[in-house]
Structure 1
Amino acid sequence: MLSSIRTGAWIDKDRLLFYPAIIVALTIVATTYVLISNSWLLPNGSPFGSDFVSFWVAAREAVAGSPHVPYERSLFEPVQLALFPKSGYFAFFYPPHYLMYLMPLGGLSYYAAFALWIFVTFGAAFWVLVQIAGKPKHLFLLALAFPATFLTISHGQNAFLSAALFGGGLLLLERRPILAGVLFGLLTFKPQLGLLIPLILLAGGHWRVIISACVTLFILMLLSALVFGIEVWGSFFAQADYAVLTMREGLVSWAKMISIYAGLRIFGFGDSIASILHWLIAAFVAAVTFWAWLPRNKIDHSLKKALVLTAALIVTPFGLNYDMFLLAPAIAFVVVHGMEAGFMPYEKSTLAMIYFSPMFVLLSMAGGFSLAPIFPIIMFALILRSMRSDAKHNAAVAVL
């Protein structure tokens, strides 16, 4: 058994097909049972995909000519409660150009919009995974069974879109730099996940990507100002304090978050100490990532891309459990490297643990604490180990 764990031999083709199929089937049956038992609602009274309430209602308001409503709780909360009386309030912390992404959903019923949103965004993420790793039949089951997939769907969240844009931008970086920049520009709807993107682009000297991303962001801001009025940007910035308060006071449970900051708050650290420790670790991770992307260090492209995807989850102070879907393209990049260069001892088994980590995070959340910060750090360390192994191999080849 220990030998199988060391080599990863237990991860064979049959298990890669059978166990994900079982997970998907059990998930569908369990979710259906919960919904039927609660008159097609969640136990807390919210519709399935509860976070999607804010996206859909915001889209309706934008279509109706009231794009400022999502940014003012005194206006947004009554609209939500009128449609979903038992759901509670779901804030909308996204910039106005994200409203443009959502507007096509505003004319549909809730569940029609929800289904379209999940289908399109998961399809985009899956396409990126296939471009990275190939083998769509195997990947489809693995992607569906990935626990972060369930978290994203059950919340009706945008992690599929984040992974598609982030992973797609990295995938196209060398071959299609202009398009890569467009994808990074579109990712600015969730800026807390892209904190390291400017850093790696500067380190790698990807100037065309930088220019393309900046132009894309400028066009998005200009279009949203023209469509909604410049005042909506003022409303967006005015609610920034509420977003900070949400994180600092745990208005969204710290147990649902994946950041080091949230984990420290759960363990009793105050805001100042937790912030300092978080940003010290984030600075170290950012420095290592910057170093890895310097061309002179000749780090394998797949490992560099996996590193920045993983680092993004460590660096952000405001990430939630469904954002762990960003690990899907990271795992895919590491697997591609392993298939080409060979897997290190325990690498396959560690990747399997990372694959199931969102499930462990969900279980810890139910217990009122968070294991979430641990797994991106383990993944980050695993990638660094692969880089070190490659460096030793290259040095040996050079000597020969």
Structure 2
Amino acid sequence: MPKHSIPRTDRLGATMMDLRPEPDPGRAASVQHPRLHERLATPFVVRMLLLSLAAVMLSKAVRYAGLLPAQDLTDFDAFHIAGRMVWRGDIAQAYHLPALLEVQRALTGDQAFLPWTYPPPFNLVVAALAPLPIGLAYLVFVGATLAAYLLVLRRIAGPHFATVVVALAPSLFVAVAGGQNGFLTGTLAGLTGLGLLRGRARAGLPLGLMVIKPHLAVGLAVCALVTRRWGCLAVAAATAALALALSTAVLGPAIWPAFLGGVEEAKAFLAAGAYPLFRMVSVYAWLRSLDVPAALALAAQMAIAVAVLGLIPLALRRGMPPRQIVGLAALASLFVSPYAYDYDLPLYGVALALLLPDLLGRASRGEAVALFGLGWMAGGYGFVAGGLHDALVGTQAASSVEVALAAPPFLLLLALIWRILRRERAAAMPGAAGPLVGPVGPVSPVPA
């Protein structure tokens, strides 16, 4: 063989190599290094999360049935007790804590600091559950509202549904474990968002039903106002008025002085730090847990609320797409009230479902990791701190977990979302600052 000859196979291999297309570095990187949400939000992971939620619900129902050791009273116990008080005709007493504690002891043999401050229309919701045994009532309420919430979330998020579920996992478990109404309010907020994006006046129906927890609807109401959705606002006002009138007719006019008295009691309890502040996500709770005076903490809360709500008209003025404006409005509602708990964060899921397509399309890898991490911290801190607090109660270390540390990551999360969305400004459609009418990404427009 000549010294410089090349074997046939080598020449052929070299020729074939020369004919191959040059590799696309971006594509190769995406294949070799999938982004965080692609690694986490797999069908298997989502199925396991949903099965775990079902297992928690069944375990809770079994405990209520007395087949497992009893646990301390939780929020759903408060719902069931209040519902029974509606049927007994003494629901007004629920708004006065000493009287409520006596009823708790009489009905369950136990007591817990669970002040009742819900508006009278919510009493009709819990009254519908009271005739059922508490275990069955829990399954019906949590199971039905969770299913409705996931359906609405899937409708909004489309192909990003799995990613939203994974990003929201801690908040889902918190709401299921306590039997709270976060899935109900999240469903109503999601339906409102869908209606606003489609330009439907009937979006006011779920918005008006948010009278059961009105502070969580402030952002969406501001969105409807600044975008001049007068039909939506009119329907919302009529719906809320009907709900208030119905509750007054069923419960009697005396329910309102009782409710207002309960609100005053709650303000005093909040100022005194009597609530578990580490379960809250508000700036007020964070500052109060650091022993900042109540008046100063409340002033900071109000300043944050005004600033965050101001992002809604600012987004409109900047010409951001309607989906982003409604998503920011849903998120802003969580920064309004000092009395905002981790179980209210299903509302964040609605905002995330609306914003995620733009966020993932513009965020760097580090920012995508931060979006997940900050969301998990805000949603899961209170649950972890509560478990540690219960384990350490009676010891000097218990005070170390009483600081409300969910607010800082939640504020950072909002700032990061706004920073990423601002990059979308150059891609905003001309005239996007007009009325919120149009399809919702993966949601197909349906005739009104």
Deviations 1:118-176 (A, max 9, x none): 01111221121011012598479648x71111111111111111111112101111426
1:46 to 59, 72, 76: 72
CA contact (8 A) 1:261 1:317 kept: yes
2:95 to 49, 71, 74: 71
Alpha-carbon shift at residue 102 of structure 1 (Å): 1.9
Name the amino acid aligned to 2:170.
Answer: P
- Compute the TM-score of the two structures, normalised by the length of structure 1: 0.85
Gaps of 5+ in 1: none
Alpha-carbon shift at residue 13 of structure 1 (Å): 5.9
Deviations 1:224-270 (A, max 9, x none): 11111111112111222111112111221111111101101111211
Give the length in aligned residue pairs: 381
- Whether 1:271 aligns to 2:299 is no
2:323 to 302, 305, 321: 302
CA contact (8 A) 1:52 1:156 kept: yes
Name the amino acid aligned to 2:302.
Answer: W
Gaps of 5+ in 2: 1-28, 389-400, 431-448
Name the amino acid aligned to 2:407.
Answer: P
Q: Secondary structure at the match of 2:91?
A: coil
Name the amino acid aligned to 1:380.
Answer: L
Name the amino acid aligned to 2:209.
Answer: L
Name 1:387's counterpart in structure 2: 421
Name the amino acid aligned to 2:363.
Answer: M
Deviations 1:32-61 (A, max 9, x none): 59x88x97345xx425xx111111111112
Structure 1 residues 200 and 231: alpha-carbon distance in aligned structure 2, compared to 1, 3 A threshold: same
- Equivalents in 2 of 1:250, 1:165: separation in Å? 30
- Equivalents in 2 of 1:176, 1:283: separation in Å? 26
- Equivalents in 1 of 2:309, 2:237: separation in Å? 21
The aligned runs of 1:129-168 (5 Å cut-off) are: 129-135=153-159, 138=162, 142=166, 146-168=169-191
- Equivalents in 2 of 1:30, 1:118: separation in Å? 8
Alpha-carbon shift at residue 332 of structure 1 (Å): 1.1
Which structure has the larger Rg? 2
Structure 1 residues 387 and 99: alpha-carbon distance in aligned structure 2, compared to 1, 3 A threshold: same
CA contact (8 A) 2:164 2:352 kept: no
- Equivalents in 1 of 2:211, 2:268: separation in Å? 21
CA contact (8 A) 2:84 2:131 kept: yes
Structure 1 residues 156 and 309: alpha-carbon distance in aligned structure 2, compared to 1, 3 A threshold: same
The aligned runs of 1:225-374 (5 Å cut-off) are: 225-292=248-315, 294=316, 296-338=317-359, 342-345=361-364, 346-357=366-377, 358-364=379-385, 366=388, 367-374=401-408
- Equivalents in 1 of 2:245, 2:419: separation in Å? 44
CA contact (8 A) 2:375 2:410 kept: no
- Equivalents in 1 of 2:297, 2:175: separation in Å? 27
- Equivalents in 2 of 1:159, 1:385: separation in Å? 27
- Equivalents in 1 of 2:137, 2:279: separation in Å? 25
CA contact (8 A) 1:314 1:373 kept: no
- Equivalents in 2 of 1:306, 1:360: separation in Å? 23
Alpha-carbon shift at residue 205 of structure 1 (Å): 0.6
Name the amino acid aligned to 2:338.
Answer: P
Alpha-carbon shift at residue 8 of structure 1 (Å): 6.4
Percent identity over the alignment?
24
CA contact (8 A) 1:148 1:322 kept: yes
User: Once structures 1 and 2 are overlaid, which stretch shifts more, 146-155 or 328-337?
Assistant: 328-337
The aligned runs of 1:168-247 (5 Å cut-off) are: 168-175=191-198, 177-247=200-270
1:12 to 38, 57, 74: 38
CA contact (8 A) 1:306 1:383 kept: no
Q: Secondary structure at the match of 1:86?
A: coil
Alpha-carbon shift at residue 352 of structure 1 (Å): 2.0
Alpha-carbon shift at residue 325 of structure 1 (Å): 2.1
Q: Secondary structure at the match of 2:144?
A: helix
Structure 1 residues 244 and 231: alpha-carbon distance in aligned structure 2, compared to 1, 3 A threshold: same
Q: Secondary structure at the match of 1:55?
A: helix
